[in-house]
Chains A and B, each alone.
Chain A
C-alpha cells in the first residue's frame, strides 16, 4: 500500500472556454465526437444565458474562447454572442464547417469582434471530402477560406484523420497552402460519441500512421514554419496515452448547448459525474467546488501503474472517457497506454481494424451509408 495521497491543490484559474453553442450541424461526419444523443435546438441556452456565461468566464480568468458546435453559424444570434464574449474580454475563435459563412455574415462577425477562424476539412478531393462529411460542403469551405483570408483573419484548418484520409496528408497540407491558412491541425480521431460507433471503420492501420508521420516530418522541414503543422497523435495505434486537456479541470471548461459544464467535451458520458449546469450554479463554484471538476484533479485518483510512472505529469494518466468507454471503469489506466493492464483490449481493436476491408462502411447520423 502507498501512503494516502494528498488532496488536490486548489486549482488556478482556467484559461479557456469551449462554448458548444449548438449541436445542430449541416454535416454528418462519421468521426463526430459529439454525443450520440444530441441536445435539440429548443434546449439550447439563450443569447442572454450565453452572454452571462462569457461574463462569468472572463471574471474567473478565462481569456480565450472557441465558439464551436455542431455548427455555430446555425445560431442566428452568433454575432451577438461574439460581441458578448469580446465584451467580456475573451479572445474569440470561430470553429466552423464553413457552411453558411458568406461575405455579409463574416463582416458581421468581424465587426462584432471575431479574432480568428478554424475551418474543418475532410479531404483535399471534393468527392471524397463530401462522402466523409456526409453532405455537400466543399464549395462552401473553399469560399469561406477565401473570404477569411481576404478579411485578413488568421485561418487554421482542422482535419480529423482516420483510415479514409490519412493517406491524403500531402493533399490536405497543399490545400492549407492554397487556401492561405496559417496553421493546419492534423488531428487523429478521438473515439468519443458518434465516432466510437465507427471505430472499426475509422481506425487506421499502423503502417498508414507511420507513413503519415514521416510525411509530417518532411513537410515541416520543407515549410520551415511558414505553415504551422500540428500533429495530434493516434493514441490507440501509438500505444501512448494522450495528455488529457493539460490535466482534468486544470486549463479549460466546456459548456454544452444546454448549459452543462464539463471538464472535457466527452465527459458527459461518465457515470456518477453529476455535471453541473450554468443555469443552476455560478461558473466559479463549478470550477472550484463541483464534484465533476474535482473527480480526477491532481493525482490522488490514479491507479497503478500510473501512480508510480514518471509520465504521469505529462499525460495525466491518459483519457478518463476512453478508460470508461473501453473498460467500464473511468478510474483505470487509459487502455491506450502500453503499460495499461487493459492494453490487450486496444491491441485487439487495432488488429481487428487492419482486417476491416471497406473504409467507407461507417454509419452517418440520421441513417445512410
Chain B
C-alpha cells in the first residue's frame, strides 16, 4: 500500500479517474455524478469541482493550491488530500 496515514496524507501523487470511472454533470438532477460499472455516486456540492482538477498532471499539492485560490475561506488543505485518498482506496482514483 502506498496510501499514507490520514494524519499526513501523501500529496505527491497525481490523481486521475480510474479506467471505467466517468465524472459528469447531470442536468436533470442538477448534480455531479461519478459513474461506475455497477453504481452511481452522487457527489456533494464541491466534490465535482475537486475531481475536475484531477487530470493526472497536477499532483495533490497543485490541486490544493488551485482550490485555495478559488475558495480562500475553505479548509481545502485540511480536507482535500484526505478526500482524494479515500477515493483512491475505493479504486475510483488512481
Task: Show the binding face of A for B, using Cβ within 8 Å.
Answer: 13, 15, 59-61, 63-64, 89, 91, 93, 115-116, 118, 152-154, 156, 182-183
Complex contact A64–B35 (CB within 8 A): yes
Complex contact A154–B37 (CB within 8 A): yes
Complex contact B20–A115 (CB within 8 A): yes
Cβ distance B42 to chain A, nearest Cβ, rounded Å = 10
Cβ distance A56 to chain B, nearest Cβ, rounded Å = 12
Stretch from B7-15, B26-34, B45-53, B57-65 forming part of the interface with A = B26-34
Bound CA–CA A115/B19 (angstroms): 8
Task: Show the binding face of B for A, using Cβ within 8 Å.
Answer: 19-20, 22, 24, 26, 28-29, 33, 35-38, 40, 91
Closest to B26 in A: A63
For the A-B complex, the count of residue pairs with Cβ-Cβ distances under 8 Å equals: 40
Given contacts A116-B20, A153-B19, A154-B19, contact A63 B35 (CB under 8 A): yes
Q: Specify which of B22, B26, B38 lies most central, judged by the most chain A CB atoms within 10 Å of its CB.
A: B38
Given contacts A63-B40, A156-B38, contact A89 B24 (CB under 8 A): yes
Complex contact A61–B28 (CB within 8 A): yes
Bound CA–CA A90/B56 (angstroms): 24
Which one of B22, B28, B91 lies within 8 Å of A91 (CB-CB)?
B22
Which one of B19, B24, B37, B38 lies within 8 Å of A152 (CB-CB)?
B19
Given contacts A91-B22, A116-B20, A153-B19, contact A183 B28 (CB under 8 A): no
Complex contact A183–B29 (CB within 8 A): no
Complex contact A13–B37 (CB within 8 A): no
Complex contact A153–B38 (CB within 8 A): no
Bound CA–CA A60/B19 (angstroms): 26
Complex contact B37–A182 (CB within 8 A): yes
Which residues of chain B have C-beta atoms less than 8 A from A63's C-beta?
Answer: 24, 26, 33, 35, 40
Bound CA–CA A183/B91 (angstroms): 12
Closest to B90 in A: A225
Complex contact B26–A61 (CB within 8 A): yes
Bound CA–CA A91/B20 (angstroms): 9
Which residues of chain A have C-beta atoms less than 8 A from B19's C-beta?
Answer: 152-154
Which residues of chain B have C-beta atoms less than 8 A from A154's C-beta?
Answer: 19-20, 36-37
Bound CA–CA A61/B37 (angstroms): 17
Complex contact B38–A91 (CB within 8 A): no
Which residues of chain B have C-beta atoms less than 8 A from A153's C-beta?
Answer: 19-20
